[in-house]
Structure 1
Amino acid sequence: MKSYIFVFCLLLSLTTGQNASGESFHIPINPGRGNWTAAYAKAREFVCQLTLTEKINFTTSTGAGSTTGYDIGIVPRLGFRGFARSDGPVGVRGTDYNNAFPAGLNVAATWDRELMYTQGHAIGMEQKGKGFNMALAPVVSPMGRNPTGGRNFEAYSPDPYLSAAAFSLAVAGMQDAGAIAVGKHFLLYEQERFRYPGNDYGIPDPDNVTMPYSANCDDRTLHELYLLPWYDAVRSGLAGVMCSYNQLNNSQACQNTRLLNDILKGQLGFPGLVLSDYGSQYSGVLSALSGLDQATPGDALHYSPNPEPGISYWGPNLTISVLNGSVPEWRIDDMVTRVMAAYYFLGQDHNYPELNAGGGFQTYGYMYPSAMLDYTQINFHVDVRDHHAGIIRKVGADSVILLKNVHATLPLKPEKIKQIGIIGQDAGPSAQGPNGYADRAGDSGTLAMGWGSGTANFPYLVDPLAAIQARALRDQTVVQYVLNNSAADAIDAIAEQASACLVFANADSGESYVSVAGVYGDRNNLTLWGDGDALIKEVAANCSNTIVVIHATGPVLMEEWIDHPNVTAVLFAGLPGQESGSSLVDVLYGDVNPSGKLPWTIAKNEKDYGTPIIPYPSGPTPQVNFTEGLFIDYRHFDKDGIAPRFEFGFGMSYTSFKYSNLVISGPSNSYSVGRPSPTRTVNGSVCASRKLNPSDYTFPATVSSITHYIYPYIASNATISTPGVPTATASIVAVQPPAPPGGDSSLYDILYTVSVDVTNNGSVAGQEVAQLYLDLGNGEPPRQLRGFNKMMIQPGETKTMVFELKRRDLSIWDVVSQAWVDVTSIGTTVGVHVGPSSRNLPLEGKIPGM
């Protein structure tokens, strides 16, 4: 019997597939939500009641540190309390009585659509339970162009298909729970270094960097690689998008009209709101015309040494921009309509909980901290954990990747293992406690979460040592341990006595607003921290049964010890969250047969990846050139014939599987009629026009100004010039009425089905992830993931796995026609490959070109 209780609450997803038990399930496009057309109708009715200054309140937050509660969209006249937001990739940030979930990399490593949705739903429930309207999650960018990227762990995989599945299902789950999902970061946010000026990043003359780095990428790569997950998320109902810190092709992401207006709101048909990351807005009029809808935190912060709080590009300046004709009022209407449409789409107008958390753990505090005003209760300590610990444990266990297992070392058999040695700092608790470092910016004790804004407070953390000791007590196994990586004599003594030595090591990374051990977000290399490689070799030299467990934010190099004859098993456990030790014990003892698969490649040499982080700036605006195009991670290894240590999609089991009987059916005769992109217009007014009188928008005598608080009112002596409407407004996208999101609907037609039989040849039940790859020719990567299924198969049982190939799966982006082109329609024969990993594909077939 499994040592956890886990209940799926599936309403769910995006497609038809099979769950881990092998049962068919169907996930509708918009489960548990309304529809955009109805939401827009309600939003327009609401917006037309607002004055100009009330509309501006929906575009501009009240300022960094100005409030611990609702900070945008406040309309006292109508009793509208506004919006509250929280970070949330692994749970609600900065509160108590919440859960700490596994990282995105672990979710991807499960290759399990049910778990992708279920964790998203649980996080959304906790966000709603705390009263946050918007969850700044999930994360799909960075995708992991370089394995040392500091925030890769928040997202899923450098493969766009796997990322699309995880991202869109997390969105569906969070929004089914009622919270507005704000996907981030849009787009090409692939390194931490130089994301904004003002940080030293550990380099000489950091002040010479005056602008964020520019990620320079061609149009085809942009669409086929980095945009692909966003198509699926928008189609799944994504209501919010956060634009990123970096520039794209030397245009700031939050004021890039090609990216926001033409592509996101145009090609993808995105009907929701675009908000800036914390301080990523670099202009007023230009960002308004280029597609930004909401400024966070409202201040014009660029992380300079002395930022001026309360000074905004928008706020009163946006009011002036409307009054002088720089920004048409219909654009303001569009901004607010998008915000309120998201609100109505998620049904937040019906019994949505009021915000009950703010300002950390203290019960009482100032509602306006900068001004030290309104001392009141700001935290009601609402417990939102529910029964989500079972989900966390399940995701943690199913994401463990077994990389080596000689002599059937695992699972551990108590009758054969009389004494266990547990070695390494990463095995035990931190002396600081699980939340001892702000935003987890420290590496002490076991690593279960990276650092940065995408963190949550642990309600507890089950470390591996505690979990193994509890199991050993039941089995009457002796357990000895050393948690000091440098205590060589003590380590040797334990290693020589133990029947099995479990050695733990880790590698950490995070967001660049803080550095840890000389790491400014992005890892400096792919080696283990705390002399982990030396520790493993020390143990292996003295213990003939050395089992290595890695907790890390991404791939690590293993060449120093992976082939050591005494290293009998290797497990990669990622960042499993609060149930870390419990999940690991489930796998170590065979209560759970490992089924995790690598969501990226583990190389033999860091240079083999071919996409280094830019460590030093080339000028005031560092240039990061994506010259590799489509060829990142396994695509690059395949193209250049580089042998990895462990390939993308690899993961072992305690049983074995055989693949047979590949059948390709199709093409389907059912085709949808493609739809055009949403209408572009230079007059998207939804409300009756009116004459604007500047004197109506000055600071009211009845309102007392709060320090550092951003208001929409203009000064009585403000200059209202009339520069005329810039020509850039011609590219603004106003969706009236909103088109079905996700791009051309014909892209989602199912053209072919592929089926294979998978047989469990072993003696224990296990889950297998079958993977389908296509060779599309036309300069494309030789193998691209275009399908996966995960099923539980009993010993001796054969199950049929079915993959559905959509038109988009067979298409490439044509830069001339600016459209997706099905390669079979232009005569290309497509290769089909199916197997358990990207380099173990025993079944092959072809789809002939037409």
Structure 2
Amino acid sequence: MLRSANAQTSSEKAIDKKIDHIVKQLTLKEKIAMLHGNALFSSDGVKRLGIPELTCDDGPLGVREEVGRYSWTPLKLKTDSATYFPNGSAMAATWNPALAYQYGVTMAQEALARHKNILLAPAFNICRTPLCGRTYEYYSEDPFLNAQLAISAVKGIQSQHVAACVKHFAVNNQETMRDSINVVIGERALREIYLPAFKAAIQQGHAYSLMSAYNVVNGAHCSENDFLLNKILKGEWGFKGLVMSDWGGTHSTVNAANNGLDLEMGSKGPYSNWYFADPLYNAVKAGQVSERVIDEKVHRILWVIFHTSMAEHQLPGSINTPGHSKAVYDMAAESIVLLKNQNHTLPLNTANIKSIAVIGDNAIHTFATGGYGAGVKAKYEITALQGIKSRLGKDINIRFAQGYKANYKTNYTAQQKENANNPNPVLISEAVDLAKNSDLAILCIGSNRDYESENSDRKNLNLPFGEQELVNAVTAANPNTIVVIMAGAPYDIADIKNNNNTVLWSWFNGSEAGNALADVLFGKINPSGKLPFTFPAHLDDSPAHALHTFPGENLTADYKEGILVGYRWFDTKNIEPLYCFGYGLSYTSFKYSAFKTNKKRYKTGEHISATLLVNNTGKYAGKETVQLYVGKLNSKTGQPEKQLKAFKKVSMIPEQGVQVVLRFKTTDLAYFSEDLHKWTIEPGEYKISVGSSSRDIRQSTIITVAN
């Protein structure tokens, strides 16, 4: 039962043997009781055999506060505060798998301290549309970047004997009609774009659990999708762990049971009425579901328990430690993206600055909670204003003006939402007066967790709350204005790009957000973040919108763009974005040279090793993310212009040179042939390029790959 494609270790064989022995001792009712929730965040164990409950908790931003066992009402304890972690797209902007690993370790330690066996993280669905309400929670638009971060996050979480639950499987790219939208997608796009990070998290990260998505894929709900769950996940990939539904994401008994779901969570009504409760027991008795199928599900659940709460060498867990604060500071500091620094305003030289106007609601806003979905009861959260004051408040006069009201709730009516986005003349006037009478203005705008939220998608790319009018007025009053945008997804900031000299992009950046931002502004940290997704100049430039397939019609979203998602679309169609994938400036400069591959001709199955020299030619120490892209020349199989195949983040002091080695395999160049139903390498010439972004290509070479 459940034998991995790889040879099992002796300890794994021993665990399987123990589980088989336990399963034989269980009654059918005991087995069924383990297959559905017995409370909001737990499912039954078997007390008489010493098998504990399986407990889980959100999630991507940190371990959520305790709620009632059967109610979403917070218990309002004094002991359930936690560290608040940067959001998913912030983590992706670091381009740093080592930080993703630390994210996993640190959050799992906090989960352990709260006695949670499964952490509902990481979430890394592809950013297909910039309007998706969960873009802030997910990683990026690129499957390779997502995969590298997911592998590290999963390994970090599970190093602490906590199960990672990777989500949401699969093709969950919009919140509009998310429970019922049928994604019509070709197998090539599915396998090349939307599944690789999940495959990597399972086969390389060895994730213990996976959450099915709400949506429908090619006619079947993800929680009962035989192709996704049985054929690919458990069959091809050899997944040994458990598949749980998203909360309320189960839709049937017999189909879900036979097609791969193992654990039903979050359905409504008495637990005995859930699909995997009495109805499943009756289905087994009626011969609609075999007891062998039930035994397999129980085996998977016990396998996760034996790797978590019943694992050998249990770890104690810890929460809100100085080490955790340092970890989230490091993540936030490396996520911040310098978009523009035209007059080299940054890093700020404070010698000639006597007064600073800090303007904008986001300077005092906290982002640990808000909107629909999981938040964190943060032990603390340093705002931008607090961070700036803590660094310079003793020497410089720092004053604040709100500038706008971030008055927005997901349950507002359309008219209320429209009103919330109107500029506030009184607050703008106060901000202008303060800016006029200050040496420098730091303008903190963007969105928040109410405006970007699970269960709803944005209607457009406009900045909310009348912020553009505020930016225009403050910049006119004081041209020495730095714009800091705090958001988790792309916005239309074309006017800011064109009219402001200095622009930083921050995120919903965790407990240490304000300190990290201040240290970037004042030069303690050299920004090294790179954008994890394309900022379109116009919404209709994005593929899902250009092809009018978002949000879909008649409960159907036809992914007509196929594999041309994100920069693949923009580069192949030669559409100029506002900001490209992988973009991010530094206070220093980097020179690329001596780029070459170890050979010029390769056979299928061989490894490719690319080397180059990167020199820090500026006057600041800094980190550069070297990105390697591959494009098939004269492709006859519809390949994109270029695809990310390797990257490495390196650190250098001024005048230092570092040799960078980027390795990948010829098999990484394969495309999925729907005709042959297999991965196939198109023979011929490939252009191998390295650069600082998808459009800032510094050097290239040509290789040939033969059959």
TM-score norm. by structure 1 comes to 0.74
Instruction: Give the match for residue 332 of structure 1.
Output: 294
CA shift for structure 1 position 421 = 0.9
Are the counterparts in 1 of residues 371 and 453 from structure 2 also a CA contact under 8 Å? Answer: no
Does residue 522 (structure 1) correspond to residue 441 (structure 2)? The answer is: no
Are the counterparts in 1 of residues 176 and 456 from structure 2 also a CA contact under 8 Å? Answer: yes
Bigger radius of gyration among the two? 1
Instruction: Give the match for residue 247 of structure 1.
Output: 216
Instruction: Give the match for residue 4 of structure 1.
Output: none
User: Which residue of 275, 297, 312 corresponds with 1:350?
Assistant: 312
CA shift digits 1:792-821 (9 cap, x unpaired): 111111101111112442111122332222
d(CA) in 1 for partners of 2:34, 2:493: 51
CA shift digits 1:316-371 (9 cap, x unpaired): 221222222111111111111111122224473336589x9xxxxxxxxxxxxxxx
Letter in 2 for 1:112: N
Change in Cα spacing, 1:321 to 1:351, as seen in structure 2 (3 Å) is: farther
Are the counterparts in 2 of residues 241 and 275 from structure 1 also a CA contact under 8 Å? Answer: yes
Letter in 1 for 2:173: E
Change in Cα spacing, 1:789 to 1:35, as seen in structure 2 (3 Å) is: farther
User: Which residue of 476, 480, 488 corresponds with 2:399?
Assistant: 480
CA shift for structure 1 position 562 = 1.9
Are the counterparts in 2 of residues 121 and 174 from structure 1 also a CA contact under 8 Å? Answer: yes
CA shift digits 1:529-576 (9 cap, x unpaired): 211111111111111211000111201111223211xx2210000110
Instruction: Give the match for residue 484 of structure 2.
Output: 549
Instruction: Give the match for residue 144 of structure 1.
Output: 127
Are the counterparts in 2 of residues 184 and 241 from structure 1 also a CA contact under 8 Å? Answer: yes
Instruction: Give the match for residue 10 of structure 1.
Output: none
Letter in 2 for 1:90: L
d(CA) in 1 for partners of 2:196, 2:105: 22
Does residue 225 (structure 1) correspond to residue 193 (structure 2)? The answer is: yes
Letter in 1 for 2:692: P
Does residue 840 (structure 1) correspond to residue 696 (structure 2)? The answer is: yes
Does residue 319 (structure 1) correspond to residue 319 (structure 2)? The answer is: no
CA shift digits 1:708-759 (9 cap, x unpaired): xxxxxxxxxxxxxxxxxxxxxxxxxxxxxxxxxxxxxxxxx76111111100
Are the counterparts in 2 of residues 131 and 353 from structure 1 also a CA contact under 8 Å? Answer: no
CA shift digits 1:363-386 (9 cap, x unpaired): xxxxxxxxxxxxxxxxxxx85546
CA shift digits 1:450-472 (9 cap, x unpaired): 64434221111111111111222
Letter in 2 for 1:562: K
Change in Cα spacing, 1:553 to 1:40, as seen in structure 2 (3 Å) is: same
d(CA) in 1 for partners of 2:320, 2:350: 38
Instruction: Give the match for residue 650 of structure 2.
Output: 791
d(CA) in 2 for partners of 1:848, 1:554: 38
Change in Cα spacing, 1:651 to 1:35, as seen in structure 2 (3 Å) is: farther
Instruction: Give the match for residue 73 of structure 2.
Output: none
Secondary structure of the corresponding residue to residue 334 of structure 1: helix
Are the counterparts in 1 of residues 134 and 454 from structure 2 also a CA contact under 8 Å? Answer: no
Change in Cα spacing, 1:98 to 1:448, as seen in structure 2 (3 Å) is: closer
Are the counterparts in 1 of residues 87 and 137 from structure 2 also a CA contact under 8 Å? Answer: yes
d(CA) in 2 for partners of 1:808, 1:152: 30
Are the counterparts in 2 of residues 35 and 345 from structure 1 also a CA contact under 8 Å? Answer: no
Change in Cα spacing, 1:34 to 1:640, as seen in structure 2 (3 Å) is: farther
CA shift for structure 1 position 94 = 1.8
Are the counterparts in 2 of residues 639 and 781 from structure 1 also a CA contact under 8 Å? Answer: yes
Secondary structure of the corresponding residue to residue 697 of structure 2: coil
CA shift digits 1:52-89 (9 cap, x unpaired): 1111122111255xxxx7x3132121122221110111
Are the counterparts in 2 of residues 448 and 551 from structure 1 also a CA contact under 8 Å? Answer: no
- Between 1:661-670 and 1:46-55, the stretch displaced more is 661-670
CA shift digits 1:125-153 (9 cap, x unpaired): 11112111111111012x11001100111
User: Which residue of 647, 651, 654 corresponds with 2:587?
Assistant: 654
Are the counterparts in 1 of residues 134 and 453 from structure 2 also a CA contact under 8 Å? Answer: no
Q: Point out where structure 2 has 5 or more consecutive residues left out of the alignment.
A: 1-5, 67-79, 405-423
Where do 1:633-672 residues align within 5 Å?
A: 633-666=566-599
Change in Cα spacing, 1:34 to 1:93, as seen in structure 2 (3 Å) is: farther
Where do 1:671-750 residues align within 5 Å?
A: none
Where do 1:468-617 residues align within 5 Å?
A: 468-474=388-394, 476-485=395-404, 486=424, 487-508=427-448, 521-564=456-499, 567-612=500-545
Change in Cα spacing, 1:217 to 1:608, as seen in structure 2 (3 Å) is: same
CA shift for structure 1 position 448 = 5.7
Q: Point out where structure 1 has 5 or more consecutive residues left out of the alignment.
A: 1-29, 197-211, 302-306, 357-381, 429-444, 511-515, 672-748
Does residue 287 (structure 1) correspond to residue 256 (structure 2)? The answer is: yes
d(CA) in 1 for partners of 2:157, 2:36: 25
Instruction: Give the match for residue 467 of structure 1.
Output: 387
CA shift for structure 1 position 416 = 2.4
Does residue 52 (structure 1) correspond to residue 23 (structure 2)? The answer is: no
Instruction: Give the match for residue 21 of structure 1.
Output: none
CA shift for structure 1 position 666 = 4.7
- Runs of 4 or more, structure 1, over 3 Å off, are 33-39, 307-310, 345-354, 382-386, 446-452, 516-520, 612-619, 666-671
User: Which residue of 663, 666, 669 corresponds with 1:804?
Assistant: 663
Letter in 2 for 1:338: R
Change in Cα spacing, 1:140 to 1:38, as seen in structure 2 (3 Å) is: farther
Instruction: Give the match for residue 61 of structure 2.
Output: 90
Change in Cα spacing, 1:662 to 1:616, as seen in structure 2 (3 Å) is: closer
d(CA) in 2 for partners of 1:72, 1:670: 51
Change in Cα spacing, 1:271 to 1:666, as seen in structure 2 (3 Å) is: farther
Secondary structure of the corresponding residue to residue 273 of structure 2: coil
Secondary structure of the corresponding residue to residue 504 of structure 1: strand
TM-score norm. by structure 2 comes to 0.89
Secondary structure of the corresponding residue to residue 214 of structure 2: coil
d(CA) in 2 for partners of 1:53, 1:309: 14
The answer to which structure has the higher helix fraction is 2
Where do 1:361-376 residues align within 5 Å?
A: none
Does residue 113 (structure 1) correspond to residue 49 (structure 2)? The answer is: no
Letter in 2 for 1:427: A
Secondary structure of the corresponding residue to residue 650 of structure 1: coil
Letter in 1 for 2:705: G
Are the counterparts in 2 of residues 128 and 352 from structure 1 also a CA contact under 8 Å? Answer: no
d(CA) in 1 for partners of 2:307, 2:600: 36
Change in Cα spacing, 1:816 to 1:170, as seen in structure 2 (3 Å) is: same
d(CA) in 1 for partners of 2:527, 2:487: 18
Are the counterparts in 2 of residues 425 and 505 from structure 1 also a CA contact under 8 Å? Answer: yes
Instruction: Give the match for residue 75 of structure 2.
Output: none
Are the counterparts in 2 of residues 400 and 595 from structure 1 also a CA contact under 8 Å? Answer: yes
Letter in 2 for 1:222: L
Where do 1:446-465 residues align within 5 Å?
A: 446-447=366-367, 451-465=371-385
CA shift for structure 1 position 509 = 5.4
Does residue 275 (structure 1) correspond to residue 244 (structure 2)? The answer is: yes
Are the counterparts in 1 of residues 65 and 81 from structure 2 also a CA contact under 8 Å? Answer: no
Are the counterparts in 2 of residues 447 and 552 from structure 1 also a CA contact under 8 Å? Answer: no
* RMSD of aligned Cα (Å): 2.4
CA shift for structure 1 position 216 = 1.1
Higher relative contact order (CA 8 A, sep 6+): 1
d(CA) in 1 for partners of 2:597, 2:156: 32
d(CA) in 1 for partners of 2:90, 2:369: 11
CA shift for structure 1 position 520 = 5.6
Letter in 1 for 2:207: L
Change in Cα spacing, 1:828 to 1:42, as seen in structure 2 (3 Å) is: farther
**How many matched pairs?**
659
CA shift digits 1:215-262 (9 cap, x unpaired): 111000000000010111012111101001100012111111011111
Instruction: Give the match for residue 614 of structure 2.
Output: 758
Secondary structure of the corresponding residue to residue 117 of structure 1: helix
CA shift for structure 1 position 188 = 0.8
